[in-house]
Amino acid sequence: MIGARPYLLDTNIATYIANGRSQAARLSLKRVSLDHRVLVSSLSEAELLFGLEMKPHAIKLNIAVHEVLKSLEIKPWDSSAAIACSQLRAQLRTSGKTLTNMDLLIASHALALGAVLVSHDGAFRHVSPQLSVVDWATDLP
- As a three-state string, the secondary structure of 26-45 is HHHHHHHCCCCCEEEEHHHH
- In angstroms, the CA 11 to CA 120 distance is 9
pLDDT digit string, tens, across residues 77-101: 999 999 999 999 999 999 999 999 9
For residue 126, the model assigns a pLDDT of 86
pTM (two decimals): 0.95
What is the tally of helices (H) and strands (E) in the chain? 6, 5
For residue 3, the model assigns a pLDDT of 65
- In angstroms, the CA 19 to CA 21 distance is 6
Q: Which domains does the chain have, with CATH numbers?
A: 7-132 (3.40.50.1010)
pLDDT digit string, tens, across residues 99-140: 999 999 999 999 999 999 999 999 998 899 999 999 999 999
Backbone angles phi, psi at 15, to 5 degrees: -65, -45
